[in-house]
Chain A
Amino acid sequence: MKRIHIIGILVIAVAIAIIMSTASDASVYVPFNEAKARAQEGDNTKVHVVGRLKKDAKGHIVGMKYDPVLDPNYFSFVLVDTNRVEQQVVYYSPKPQDFDRSEQVVITGNMQGATFVADKILLKCPSKYTENEVKVETASL
């Protein structure tokens, strides 16, 4: 066997190891029910949950708590996942400023007791590109 073949085998072995490590590190998108089931089974791996903020009939967000004067590193809100299951979420960081405007929220974290502790929040806000509105300013004409 030539040396180049040994190198080739080693490279393939490392590549397989890389694939395995990615597969084991990769997270999943799940609804809250499954996140709860995982936590009950003692599985603490972090998952992604996609949802929307809970809103009342008037479109106001409900169940959101952030009082920076008391604790700037505590933000809690209620997220409704794609199966319409509500869940209280706690995020130990300041509240993202554009949070109220977000259309869709993706959180990463796991269930701890009755709350979902998120360590990452990704907001999908209505982008300015999709906004087909032109302001007509008559005042400056």
Chain B
Amino acid sequence: MVNTLIGDLGHYSVILAFVAALVSSLAYFFSTNAAELSAEHASWRKLARGAFYVHVLAVLGIVFCLFNIIYEHRYEYHYAWSHSSNHLPVHYMISCFWEGQEGSFLLWIFWHALLGLVLIRFGKKWEGPVMAVFSFVQLFLTSMILGVVIGDLKIGSSPFILMRDFMTEAPVFQMDPNFVPKDGTGLNPLLQNYWMVIHPPVLFLGFAATLVPFAFAMAGLWRKDFSSWTKPALPWALFAAVVLGIGIMMGAYWAYETLNFGGYWNWDPVENAVYIPWLVLVGAIHTLLAYRKSRTALRATFILFITSFLLVLYATFLTRSGILGNASVHSFTDLGLSGQLFTYLAAFLVLSIGLLMYRWKKIPATDKEIATYSGEFWVFIGAAVLCLGAFQVLFTTSIPVYNSFMGFIGVKTNVALPADQIQHYTNAQLWLGVAIAILSGTGQLLWWRKQNAGEKLSQVFMLPLMLTFLFTSLILLLGKLGVLDRIDTPKYIVLLITALYAIFSNLSIVFGVLRKRVSIAGGAVAHIGVALMLLGILFSAGYSNIISKNMSGMVYAREFGDEINRDNVLLWRNAPTDMGPYTVTYKGQYLEVEGLPEYVNKQQLFRIADEFKAIARGPLKDGDKVVYTAGDTVNIYPENTYYQVEYKNRETKEAFLLYPRAQVNPEMGLLASPDIKMFGTKDLYTHVSTIPDPEEEKEWSELKEYKVKMGDTIFVNDYVAVLHGIEPAKDTLLLNLGPNDVAVQADMQVLGEKRTYHAHPIYAIRDKMVGRVPEEIEDLGLRIMLMNIDPENGEFTIGVNTTQKDYIILKAMEKPFISILWIGTLVMSLGFVMAIVRHYKDGKNNPVSTLTGKGAAVKREKQLV
């Protein structure tokens, strides 16, 4: 049955949300322009609030309808059909929700709606102008999922479109408009990862939060109140930066764990698109802090907050309009919304920059020079450096846009992204890191110097510099001794020195100046986090070491000398191979079984017609507890195969198992995900690069027959096999034997290189017909059949086919000290949260009450505000 009700409900909710956003933004506009405390102001505001509440309810309605469509498997809807499937676990249904463009827009809209409610509640005098901007943004965003066609103009793409309306050409729907597909096409397997359940909401919350400081900046310009908006905007800006930063790093961690490009950051346009606004937003926070301390850099603050929001819109345009085309490995769905996205970007570009230019002359600016030895000066330089770093990424990432633009005006260009993008970006971004490290250390030391009145410049810098020198020497020395990675590239040494300097100078602030009041140490802590991240990146990316070098000596062609890549190794099943300090053995293919925490060897499972079920061939245990006994039907997750790879350290004899995962996806080819073993000082990262194509039928050699007697030994494929006896068949479940049928099985032993295998080929007579069930020993590439039984002579005929043994091609690398990067991320986030708490409290308490209770350090700050 086609359920049109839920879709109609959803669609009308979208329209309602759109109209309510329009009403709300207009009403807030009029209320802001009306005189404050007037009756007109109040009545407009009442209408605006009401409209926004309606908008929020409508948004919740859309979310409910879309989730219901996915959760109830309503495949009459295109969204459910193309993003979900029957066998998808519930937690991944949440990921389906935002796999599509419409859903991710909806997620963004949802966060804006919630943030809007918070601002209505706590916005006070800023409610009007800020919410006018908010509702206006919501108007644009809801239009993206509106799905209304007027003539040739398509406005938005509705997530509630029915299959029959989406595929009007499909013959199925022409024959029977009420046809409902039985199953969906499923969720992109790369997104079936728990990070994909939490990472997009965090990222979109970050996107949504970026709007808040922008809206405050706009409100300040609009109301000609150029200064006081900075106070409520600061904690919001910090919140946006930390959430966006965590979102980016979650995405990096997901890429590290799920994709197989060998790292956490690939400078893909999608990653860059979020990194750019984040850098600018952090820059904006710095100029804002400088302004709040010494009344400088207000104009820069306006520019940077406006830019960071415009860059979020630009990121949306880049990643969703299909303009990147060949430039990205990410598959973007081009919904034909590029015109609409461009309008959205252009509208805010013109409005915000226009307003800024209109008010430019009125924004107060100081004529006094900032002293070079003051903290604010270095903070300002830091913001400029951050923006330059963002500009470098932006300028290169936009190359496809230049091509499109030139094509649009009729000039054909053929510029491509740099051939080695990683090198192009890291060459520049490394120096950004160096500059940030130097500036964060120096800026912080000078910023807090005034708190310790009378301290000389040399005193401030002495200790951090000494510690930096000491630890740099120590790390370089340990590198020479071979304990750590040997750092001898000059630019890496520079990064090491500066990152250590940033750590020690900020630590000295935490322990020195701020010891008495830890709560104001947020900035120092965040900077330590950034410096730690730089160190983690330096070691893990700069000294990543591929250990799976192909040493077989067999190469196809030597035409290009020895310089060529041999980073992948072929591992035969059960044939140990030396790799780096390990002896590595590929031991078999495993599957995930419902109810068992560990993967189960495929040989223990008998696969049946329903690919999501299998029959246990023996007891399946969880530790010592038997969960399934032989013959039980178990639910399996057949898409992913886990390749058990044993690593044994030749020196320490320590052994562990890794299960890199691969899936042959009909649409996307081989999707290989790594398995990572974490040590204290490094990660061992392993993934399969290629597997024999499972679609391809195995090529078996011609059947070879052996006539044997009980206890005889034969040689099959160079392995010794012994026939021990004949016994009644045990595994007859699948043969559907009747009462008059018989089945026997041979009891054979095959001696492999590593272990002994038992084979039980079955010979059955059912309805007077002979049936044979062969036994396959995948490890040895053997298939054994009981061909015939000759009771008179006591002779048995054994048939044997052989095939190529199973193998995988593996890539493995060591990533030293990558944990420092994740720890740095946590420390940075902690610093941000401390700063949010502090500035939120500062904003809430009125200045008079704080003056009495707290220390002199705060007093000075407060007086400036």
Chain A residues with CB under 8 Å of chain B are 2-4, 7, 11, 14-15, 18-19, 21-22, 25-30, 45-48, 50, 65, 67-74, 76, 90, 92-99, 101, 106, 108-109, 112-113, 115, 117, 119-120, 122-129, 132-137, 140-141
Contact = CB atoms under 8 A, between A and B. Distances in A.
Contact of A26 (B167, B183, B416): B416
A127 B395 contact: no
A73 B568 CA distance: 6
A99 to B, nearest CB: 7
Interface string B550-565: 1010111101100011
A98 B668 contact: yes
B319 to A, nearest CB: 15
Contacts of B560: 112, 117
Contact of A73 (B163, B183, B414, B565): B565
Contacts of A22: 392, 395-396, 399, 418, 424
Interface string B182-194: 1101000000000
Given A21-B427, A46-B419, 20 more contacts: A18-B388, A21-B424, A22-B424, A25-B420, A26-B415, A26-B416, A27-B418, A27-B419, A48-B416, A68-B690, A71-B552, A72-B569, A73-B568, A97-B670, A98-B669, A106-B326, A124-B326, A125-B668, A127-B331, A128-B82
Given A97-B670, A97-B690, A71 B417 contact: no
B170 interface: yes
A134 B428 contact: no
A120 B419 contact: yes
Contacts of B163: 134
Contact of A15 (B82, B380, B391): B391
B181 interface: yes
Interface in B325-339: 326, 329, 331, 333
Given A27-B417, A93-B565, A136 B669 contact: no
B415 A98 contact: no
Interface in B747-786: none
B420 A46 contact: yes
A123 to B, nearest CB: 8
B455 interface: no
A129 B69 CA distance: 19
A29 B690 contact: no
Contacts of A101: 669
23 contacts: A4-B369, A4-B370, A11-B384, A11-B388, A14-B388, A15-B388, A19-B395, A21-B428, A22-B395, A26-B417, A27-B416, A68-B690, A71-B555, A73-B555, A74-B556, A94-B689, A99-B669, A108-B419, A109-B419, A125-B669, A126-B667, A136-B179, A137-B182
A126 to B, nearest CB: 8
A27 B415 CA distance: 6
B550 to A, nearest CB: 6
Nearest to A138: B182
Contacts of B427: 21
Contacts of B670: 96-98
A68 B424 CA distance: 32
B726 interface: no
B567 A25 contact: no
A132 to B, nearest CB: 5
B416 A28 contact: yes
B345 to A, nearest CB: 22
B807 interface: yes
A50 B414 CA distance: 11
A29 B416 contact: yes
* Cβ-closest 7 pairs across A and B: A98-B669, A97-B670, A46-B419, A74-B556, A92-B565, A25-B418, A94-B689
B424 A136 contact: no
Contacts of B478: none
Nearest to B568: A72
B369 A73 contact: no
A46 B779 CA distance: 44
Contacts of B690: 68, 72, 94-95, 97
B169 A132 contact: yes
Contacts of B395: 18-19, 22
A69 B570 contact: yes
Nearest to A66: B690
A28 B667 contact: no
B82 A129 contact: yes
A72 B550 contact: yes
B689 A18 contact: no
A110 to B, nearest CB: 9
B669 A30 contact: no
B809 interface: yes
A44 B517 CA distance: 59
Interface string B790-809: 00000000000000100101
A119 to B, nearest CB: 8
Residue from the set A70, A93, A96, A113 with the largest chain B CB neighbour count within 10 Å:
A93
A92 B562 CA distance: 12
Nearest to A65: B556
B372 interface: yes
A107 to B, nearest CB: 10
A29 to B, nearest CB: 4
Given A68-B807, A72-B809, A125-B668, A47 B419 contact: yes
A25 B423 CA distance: 10
Contacts of B809: 68, 72, 94
B566 interface: yes
A7 B384 contact: yes
A75 to B, nearest CB: 9
Given A27-B416, A73-B550, A96-B669, A129 B333 contact: yes
Interface in B350-368: none
Given A26-B415, A47-B419, A48-B416, A97 B669 contact: yes
Nearest to B662: A97
B470 interface: no
B391 A93 contact: no
A67 to B, nearest CB: 8
A21 B557 CA distance: 36
B703 interface: no
